[in-house]
Amino acid sequence: MDWLQLLVFPAIRALILIFVLLTGFAYLTWYERKLLARFQVRYGPNRAGKFGLLQPAADAVKAFFKEEIIPNHVDKPVYLLAPALALVPALIIWAVIPIAKGTPAIADVNIGFLWILAVAGIESYGIILAGWSSNNNYSLLGALRSSAQMVSYELPLGLFLVSILMLAGSFSLVDLVEGSRQWWEWIWLWLAFPFFFICILAETNRSPFDLPETENELVAGFQTEYGGMKFALFFIAEYVNMISTSAIMATLFFGGWKGPFAEQYIWLGPVYLLIKVLILLFLFIWVRASIGRPRYDQLMKFCWQFMLPLGLVYVSISAVLAVFLK
Amino acid sequence: MPLDVAPVIRSYETQRTLNPPGIPALAPMPTGETDDTRRLCERFGRDIVAAGLHYGNQVVFVEPAQLKALATFLRDDAELNYETLIDVTSVDRSQLPLNGGARFQTVYQFRSYSRNRHLTVVADCKTEPGGNGELPHIDSLTGVYRGAEWPEREVYDLMGIRFDGHPDLRRILMPKSWPNHPLQKQAPLGGEEVPFTFTWDDPEFETLGSQILPAESAAPDLPPGMSRQNMVINMGPHHPSTHGVLRLVVEMDGERIVSIDPDLGFLHSGFEKTGENKRYKDFVYYTDRMDYLSAMSNNLGYCLTIEHMLGLEIPERAQVIRVIMAEMQRIASHLFWLATHVLDVSGTGMSLLMYATRERERILDLFEMACGARLTVSYIRIGGVWQDLPDAFITELKDFLRVMPEKINEYEALITEAPLWQERLTGIGHISADDALAMGLTGPMLRGSGIDWDLRRDRPYCGYESYEFEVPTSDSGDCYGRFNIRMEEMRQSVRILEQAVGNLPSGLYKSNNRKVALPPRAELDVSMEALIHHFKLMTEGFHVSPGFFYNGIENSKGELGFYVYSDGSAKPYRLHVHGPSFNNLYAIDHISRGEMLSDVVTNIGSIDIVLGEVDR
């Protein structure tokens, strides 16, 4: 029984989760393209299937049947490893996110917060290694930018996480969602949300902080030398990351799976989570359609001169609040 | 390594039109005098060969030995004060009755913005025997006017004139191994073996089949002055934001730019050589293809030059239609600039790209109404316009003008005050007024550095003097200043359009002069004379009396100039196009040094180039 509990059930859950996430990724691309098209007075994909709903399938087929090109000058093992390294953290970060009452996606561990921080730390490796192993100036510049950017933005991100942790009083995300919060706690949390969201944008390399790939200067940044399925893996990693971080934000700031009747009907939990994630994804896309990109040095300056001090202030005040009001 | 290829000369290429006796003829000497020519004659005495007015332009012929001294005097003399050198070109006169005169002449266009004067300086080239024939050479003016660097390289490339003292005399438009200098008259119009195709013996193909060359062979030769100590990256010709097929070799120290070497000519199509082999009226269609984003302005610039040489009166209605078209084209061009600039700076997701192209689409629809074409319009012809405006045009245009100011406000609301946008543009690509003048920049690049100059207002053509509009300038000299200028120019163009639409006179839409402009189609059915005129114009064209003339108009990117040298026949003997993008692009190295890689992209967008015109 033990090995069943420890291995088989989690494995089945993980498979289901991966399946859901990859489908979710596919339809996220459709969602983004449709939304961007609406923002830009266009139609978006509308040829493949009704409302272009088969577009993701067509894209997948295309990616699979592309010729596999491995340039001569790359560091082959690292070059092949990098896309996988980019994708894996985006998937495993889901393990600790609660999807319904008392039900985490994989495991209710008592170090949920640390897990998020740790996995977020690994994420940049895929990009750095891709840029380094490609042996291409554009890739290298993209990789350097991304390493600096991700490392920098992890600091304020971590500070905000620590503040939430202090107020919640538990490392477990399941406890965080199910525990009750006072009204001032919610307001205090939501004050931090815009800044947290900015950090997440930088962390996921999404526009306007998509400097590692800046197609206008660096051609395609770290993924310049990648094609076919290997490129698709980076693409999947970016979009799954968007979904994951949206789920994390929903969990931390908006009560995760909670909603009317979610306590009575367990199946409502994932539905509410999905709705919240979709709204947050809309935010990602909205920002992409309307905000220009900063320059690399400006981005770093913003992090170190604004976000980090702000994070420190937020942590200090949160600590005071946690001690005196809870 | 030059290839030894014997050019195949086809018979029709060298055939010229049947000319009346006495043609081809040399351009006559200038007559009369002005204050400036008098002052130059006093200063240089016998070194001035001739001076005076020619087709209304001040012209000075100078001895080649004194050219540099003359240019320095023009720039530094307080009374003359010619701050800028607009254009350098040259004429190969080998097919004219020279009577011992020099074969090659270089032609310089000087401009004084403060005094609103234009001066053409012509100098014979010294020749020395060598190579396969003679090697013409002349002093370089790069030491006096910095902006002469690229035009002189162009002259060297296309005409083979060497400039003594030029810092970097390389080919600029043609491939390095091109066998001849194409604008020399003996160079055939086509027929050369094109050295683009390499043989399999070339070392560059040793690694073919291994997908991508090993890294060490990726950059075969660095431009002079660049060092491998720094990172050298190759932007373009296949790069998302070099606006076509521009190639920039960028030397970087980290992400800071050390120097940039633009590599041009990927889109070179030899418009000037083609022009010399077309009848005057047939070149209008080629002008569309140069700056394909402002075809109307190109048509207009060319037609105005020829009409001035013909002394042709243009009917009032045609003038106003031309203004309408030119201003609509300016808005369309600026809209496309805005769209691509935002795209370059802010990324593909930015919606403004589509908003700006949406409005541009309406303008193109209007063009389609007027002439059936959207991009390569050829609507403005010598003598007027091709056909009258359709009835619905004015209503549609009025509707567009009602909407457009709101739309401009909409764009501005989206980015002008946005902090990210301001931070990306403010202080980037800075050009001081002195540099702008020395480099011969024109258009918004010049006005962005605080020089209040607009050909429409200061040297009016097409009746621009009767319209009320303002010329926006900015003292900041950076990308943000230029951005604001172009946004304001769109508003001013709307203003001009409103005035033009408001008092569009009735009358002829093209000149009644049947020797130049085609008779209307209906007339052909009833008038034998009209048929003869039609036949003569379609087969022979019209003759322009010998002479040369430079005329510039203000298009959306700057001063678009046409220099035409006529030998009296029905084809231009020499046709030179001064494209604003070409001169403005010269600034890219200067303004990008010390800035970051992202700023190069901002600068390219801010210069607003169209490669069709840069490469011509």
From residue B563, how far is each of A253, B284, B376, B408 by CA, in Å?
A: 68, 14, 22, 36
The DSSP call for residue B345 is: H
Task: Print the domain residue range for B574.
Answer: 271-513+543-615
Of B212, B240, B418, nearest to A292 by CB-CB distance is: B418
Q: How far apart are the C-alpha atoms of B59 and B576, rounded to whole Å? A: 17
Q: A289 and B424 in contact by Cβ < 8 A?
A: no
CB < 8 Å from A in window 576-605 of B: 596-601
- Cis peptide upstream of residue B167 (ω within 30 degrees of 0): no
Regarding whether B496 and B376 lie in a shared domain, the answer is: yes
Which residue type does B471 have? V
Q: How far apart are the C-alpha atoms of B594 and A145, rounded to whole Å? A: 18
Q: Helix A228-253 to helix A55-65 angle, to the nearest 10 degrees?
A: 140
pLDDT at B17: 52
Residue B571 counted as domain residue:
yes
**A69–B contact, CB cutoff 8 A:** yes
Q: A289 and B351 in contact by Cβ < 8 A?
A: yes
Q: How confident is the model at residue B20 (pLDDT cuts 50, 70, 90)?
A: low
- Angle ∠(A257,A259,A264) on CA atoms, nearest 5: 90
Residue B205 counted as domain residue:
no
The mean pLDDT of B336-359, rounded to a whole number, is: 84
Of B232, B343, B598, nearest to A296 by CB-CB distance is: B598
Q: Tell me which chain A residues have a C-beta less than 8 angstroms from the C-beta of B601.
A: 216-217
pLDDT at B244: 78
Q: How far apart are the C-alpha atoms of B358 and B370, rounded to whole Å? A: 19
Residue B199 counted as domain residue:
no
Closest approach of A283 to chain B, Cα-based (Å):
13
pLDDT in tens, B175-198: 877 778 888 888 877 666 665 555
CB neighbours (10 Å) of residue B55?
Answer: 20
CATH number reported for the structural domain that contains residue B144 in this entry? 3.30.460.80
Regarding whether B438 and B297 lie in a shared domain, the answer is: yes
Closest approach of B383 to chain A, Cα-based (Å):
41
Is B381 strand, coil or helix? strand
Report the residue of chain B nearest A288, measured CA to CA. Answer: B349
With 50 as the cut, is the pLDDT of residue B1 above it?
no
**A210–B contact, CB cutoff 8 A:** yes
The mean pLDDT of A266-273, rounded to a whole number, is: 82
Q: B424 and A293 in contact by Cβ < 8 A?
A: yes
Q: Helix A268-290 to helix A183-203 angle, to the nearest 10 degrees?
A: 60
pLDDT at B132: 57
A203 contacts A154 by C-beta, under 8 angstroms: yes
pLDDT in tens, A191-208: 889 998 988 888 888 878
With 90 as the cut, is the pLDDT of residue A68 above it?
no
Is B252 strand, coil or helix? strand
Is A300 strand, coil or helix? helix
Closest approach of A4 to chain B, Cα-based (Å):
47
With 50 as the cut, is the pLDDT of residue B3 above it?
no
Q: How far apart are the C-alpha atoms of A38 and A55, rounded to whole Å? A: 17
pLDDT at B204: 62
Q: Helix A137-168 to helix A308-325 angle, to the nearest 10 degrees?
A: 10
Of A69, A210, A292, nearest to B420 by CB-CB distance is: A292
Is B137 strand, coil or helix? strand
Longest CA pairwise span in chain B (Å): 77
Q: How far apart are the C-alpha atoms of B447 and B475, rounded to whole Å? A: 8
**A219–B contact, CB cutoff 8 A:** yes
- By DSSP bridging, strand B126-129 and strand B134-139 are antiparallel
With 60 as the cut, is the pLDDT of residue B270 above it?
yes
Q: How far apart are the C-alpha atoms of B213 and B204, rounded to whole Å? A: 9
Q: Helix A183-203 to helix A228-253 angle, to the nearest 10 degrees?
A: 170
The DSSP call for residue A111 is: T
Which residue type does B245 have? V
Report the residue of chain A nearest B353, measured CA to CA. Answer: A40
Q: How far apart are the C-alpha atoms of B425 and A10, rounded to whole Å? A: 52
pLDDT in tens, A77-108: 888 888 888 888 888 888 888 877 777 767 77
pLDDT at B266: 85
Q: Tell me which chain A residues have a C-beta less than 8 angstroms from the C-beta of B342.
A: 292
Number of domains in chain B: 2
pLDDT at B243: 78
**What's the count of helices (H) and strands (E) in chain A, helices before strands?**
12, 2
pLDDT in tens, B482-526: 999 999 999 999 999 999 998 888 888 888 888 888 888 888 889
B598 contacts A214 by C-beta, under 8 angstroms: yes
pLDDT at B330: 92
The mean pLDDT of B276-296, rounded to a whole number, is: 88
The mean pLDDT of B523-543, rounded to a whole number, is: 88
CB < 8 Å from B in window 17-46 of A: 36, 39-42
pLDDT at B126: 83
With 60 as the cut, is the pLDDT of residue A19 above it?
yes
pLDDT at B197: 56
pLDDT at B564: 92
**Residue indicated by tokens 């013409």:** B136
pLDDT at B80: 85
**B355–A contact, CB cutoff 8 A:** yes
Q: What DSSP string describes B304-328?
A: HHHHHHHTPPPPHHHHHHHHHHHHH
Candidates B328, B333, B316; CA nearest to B379 is: B328
B73 contacts B80 by C-beta, under 8 angstroms: yes
- Angle ∠(A164,A167,A171) on CA atoms, nearest 5: 65
Q: A292 and B596 in contact by Cβ < 8 A?
A: no
**B233–A contact, CB cutoff 8 A:** yes
**B8–A contact, CB cutoff 8 A:** no
Q: How far apart are the C-alpha atoms of B224 and B153, rounded to whole Å? A: 15
Regarding whether B278 and B151 lie in a shared domain, the answer is: no
Q: How far apart are the C-alpha atoms of B158 and B47, rounded to whole Å? A: 28
Q: Tell me which chain A residues have a C-beta less than 8 angstroms from the C-beta of B344.
A: 216
The tokens describing B390, both together, are 């359709």
Domain parsing of chain A, residue ranges = 1-65, 71-324
Q: How far apart are the C-alpha atoms of B259 and B252, rounded to whole Å? A: 7
Residue B345 counted as domain residue:
yes
Measure the N-to-C terminal CA separation of chain A; round to a whole number of Å: 42
Report the residue of chain A nearest B253, measured CA to CA. Answer: A141
Q: How far apart are the C-alpha atoms of B510 and A151, rounded to whole Å? A: 68
B575: β partners: B564
Q: Tell me which chain B residues have a C-beta less than 8 angstroms from the C-beta of A71.
A: 211-212
Q: Tell me which chain A residues have a C-beta less than 8 angstroms from the C-beta of B414.
A: 290
Candidates A149, A123, A138; CA nearest to A225 is: A138
Of B231, B351, B598, nearest to A217 by CB-CB distance is: B598
B52: β partners: B59
- By DSSP bridging, strand B134-139 and strand B162-164 are parallel
With 80 as the cut, is the pLDDT of residue B90 above it?
yes
> Best of A43, A210, A291, A299 to disrupt the B interface by mutation (most B CBs within 10 Å)?
A291
Q: Helix B479-502 to helix B391-415 angle, to the nearest 10 degrees?
A: 160
pLDDT at B216: 46
What is the sign of the dihedral through the CA atoms of B278, B376, B239 and A55? negative
Helix boundaries (H) for A75-136: 76-92, 112-133
Q: How confident is the model at residue B41 (pLDDT cuts 50, 70, 90)?
A: confident
Closest approach of B556 to chain A, Cα-based (Å):
24
What is the sign of the dihedral through the CA atoms of B389, B392, B396 and B399? positive
Which residue type does B489 have? E
**A75–B contact, CB cutoff 8 A:** no
> Best of B206, B208, B233 to disrupt the A interface by mutation (most A CBs within 10 Å)?
B233
The tokens describing A290, both together, are 């309307």
- Cis peptide upstream of residue A260 (ω within 30 degrees of 0): no
Which residue type does A255 have? G
Which residue type does B408 have? I
Q: How far apart are the C-alpha atoms of A228 and A66, rounded to whole Å? A: 5
Q: Tell me which chain A residues have a C-beta less than 8 angstroms from the C-beta of B350.
A: 289-290, 292
B234: β partners: B249
The mean pLDDT of A27-50, rounded to a whole number, is: 88
pLDDT at B302: 92
pLDDT in tens, B450-480: 888 888 988 888 888 899 889 998 888 888 9
Q: How far apart are the C-alpha atoms of B514 and B510, rounded to whole Å? A: 10
Residue B410 counted as domain residue:
yes
Residue B181 counted as domain residue:
no
pLDDT at B196: 56
pLDDT at A1: 60
Q: How far apart are the C-alpha atoms of B515 and B519, rounded to whole Å? A: 9
B111: β partners: B84, B118
Q: How confident is the model at residue B18 (pLDDT cuts 50, 70, 90)?
A: low
> Best of A284, A295, A302 to disrupt the B interface by mutation (most B CBs within 10 Å)?
A295
With 50 as the cut, is the pLDDT of residue B208 above it?
yes
Q: What is the 3-state secondary structure (H, E, C) of A1-37?
A: CHHHHHHHHHHHHHHHHHHHHHHHHHHHHHHHHHHHH
Residue B509 counted as domain residue:
yes
Residue B114 counted as domain residue:
yes
- Give this prediction's pTM: 0.87
From residue B188, how far is each of A303, B19, B135, B180 by CA, in Å?
A: 62, 21, 19, 9
With 60 as the cut, is the pLDDT of residue A178 above it?
yes
pLDDT in tens, A282-307: 998 888 888 888 888 888 888 889 98
At B442, give phi and psi (nearest 5°): -135, 170
Report the residue of chain A nearest B343, measured CA to CA. Answer: A216
CB neighbours (10 Å) of residue A256?
Answer: 27
CATH number reported for the structural domain that contains residue B406 in this entry? 1.10.645.10
Q: B351 and A216 in contact by Cβ < 8 A?
A: no
Closest approach of B589 to chain A, Cα-based (Å):
16
Regarding whether B289 and B148 lie in a shared domain, the answer is: no
pLDDT at B12: 45
> Best of B243, B246, B354, B421 to disrupt the A interface by mutation (most A CBs within 10 Å)?
B354
Q: A292 and B233 in contact by Cβ < 8 A?
A: no
Average pLDDT, chain B: 84
The answer for residues whose C-beta is within 8 angstroms of residue A111's C-beta and 6 or more apart is A171, A172
The interface predicted TM-score (ipTM) is 0.83
- Cis peptide upstream of residue A77 (ω within 30 degrees of 0): no
**Residue indicated by tokens 């994989």:** A106
**A206–B contact, CB cutoff 8 A:** no
Q: B211 and A71 in contact by Cβ < 8 A?
A: yes
Which residue among B164, B191, B209 closes a domain? Answer: B164
Q: How far apart are the C-alpha atoms of B555 and B545, rounded to whole Å? A: 27
B255 contacts A141 by C-beta, under 8 angstroms: yes
Q: A290 and B231 in contact by Cβ < 8 A?
A: no
**Residue indicated by tokens 């808005």:** B331
Q: Tell me which chain A residues have a C-beta less than 8 angstroms from the C-beta of B483.
A: none
